Amino acid sequence: MSHHQKFYIDGAWVDPVEPRLLDVIDPATEEAYTQIAIGSAGDVDKAVAAAKAAFASFSLVPKEERLALLKRILAAYNERFEDIARAVSQEMGAPLSFARDAQAWAGRAHIEATIKAFETYEFSEHRGSTMVIKEPIGVCALITPWNWPLNQIACKVAPAIAAGCTVVLKPSEIAPISGIVFAEVMEAAGTPKGVFNLVNGTGPDVGQIMAGHPGVDMVSFTGSTRAGIIVAKTAADTVKRVAQELGGKSANIILPDADFKEAVAQGVRACFGNTGQSCDAPTRMLVPAERHDEALSIAKEAAEALVTGAPAAEGTDLGPVVSQIQYDKIQRLIEAGIADGATLVTGGPGRPEGLNRGYYIRPTVFGHVTNDMTVAREEIFGPVLSVLSYDSEDQAVEIANDTVYGLAAYIQSQEIEHARAVALRMRAGSVYLNYPEWDTMAPFGGYKQSGNGREYADWAIHDFLEIKGVVGWG
């Protein structure tokens, strides 16, 4: 039976307090394919009450039992892996192969990483006559985005449970179905009632209510910087902890000693992965000034080799972006790039040839971009790459750091010591050298307006804990 029009509260699928429905749009067709219930303050009250009641006992559950629960969640997740991948593909337009190999995989990988970190995690430390104890912070409101739904759900829920917290999850109302499947996974794993709760809804009607709720001890939010500011202000009245993973405008510095052709081509693919809808995408490519036109030629070839099409079609590299709002925003920013005088290398406004419906974007590369142009300043969140020039390494570092964001940076060099030295100068929470494999044990989070706190593995467990010093322990 479909649970699309129900919430999961206190171990049961329940109807909303006020029956209201919202269409879920398939971005490949622009048509609604199901409806979800959307919540209100009354639903949040019920979920928080359930989580608060469960916390009293779950916070005392031995580590071994919480570890066993996480392993059951992983097993149940693997049982539903294909369902999760197909849900993500339809709700946000990810090519089916990408939905399996990256989107659904990420959720599994984060649960596995949390288990690995949790197995050796210590919750107490003796310092002189003081015992330092790490305790669960309490009821946690988890607000997750549409662009990497399972990645963000898993890397919040799993460490919160490891820490001994109870949670209320609000997935994005734009891509909510994978979150409902995840709730079914939690139920199948035998999660004690009240430990995990799900309420769907909009940011103003549910997310903000959660952030300001006096029964919530912590908010973990992933989304835009604009929305993150609203969450933080709302949470401030109750002085609760707020962990945020927000926007980015990440620089990709191609150093003169890089394998230039490969570095530029891979940079295009890295920028356009997930149809450009990643907060840490390397959207500003910095190349030596004397090789700028060469870089544009390589980038053009790499971008035009990517296939944009239906998510279910064989060989599709880029699907549609998630919504009409995103489509319109990206079109506006592409137009701004042209108006600002950037060189349109490939792509541009409108849909790709042969696609007359769906929120499809032409993979776009701009050249001769300066760091004061709109396309170099604003987070576009679509398949749009800006190529900038630098005259010296110092200038490259200066340009890379000249942004309100600080989520990620990328360095390409055939000399690893050189790449490491430049990495230390980046004002970003994550720096990636020579396009490494995804590491779910690494800390993830940002400097500046890209947020605060860190996610993944033991770094995430830290964020869900309070520190107690018992002085005179002996």
The second-level CATH assignment, the architecture, of 7-246+450-471 is: 3-Layer(aba) Sandwich (3.40)
Orientation of helix 63-79 relative to helix 177-188, angle to 10°: 130
Q: What is the pTM of this model?
A: 0.97
Tell me which of 245, 271, 379, 455 is the catalytic residue.
Answer: 245
Residues 445 and 406: their CA atoms lie apart, in Å, by 9
Residues 275 and 326: their CA atoms lie apart, in Å, by 12
Q: Where are the domains of the chain?
A: 7-246+450-471, 251-440
Please give the pLDDT value at position 312. 95
Helix H or strand E segment including 274: none
Instruction: Round the CA-based radius of gyration of the chain to a whole number and report it.
Output: 22
Q: Residue 149: which of 86, 107, 197 has the closest Cα?
A: 107
Tell me which of 140, 155, 165, 279 is the catalytic residue.
Answer: 279
Check if 271 is active-site: no
Helix H or strand E segment including 109: helix 105-119
DSSP state, residue 340? T
CB atoms within 10 A of CB 147: 26
Which residue type sits at 226? R
Chain-centre distance for alpha carbon 224: 10
- The yes/no answer on whether domain 251-440 falls in CATH 3.30.565.10 is no
Check if 91 is active-site: no
Q: 347's torsion region: left (phi>0), alpha (psi -120 to 50) or beta?
A: left
Average pLDDT per run of 10 along the chain, which is 474 residues long? 93 97 98 98 98 98 98 98 98 98 98 98 97 98 97 98 98 98 98 98 97 98 95 97 97 98 98 98 98 98 98 97 98 98 98 96 98 98 98 98 98 98 98 98 98 97 98 95
Residues 329 and 380: their CA atoms lie apart, in Å, by 8
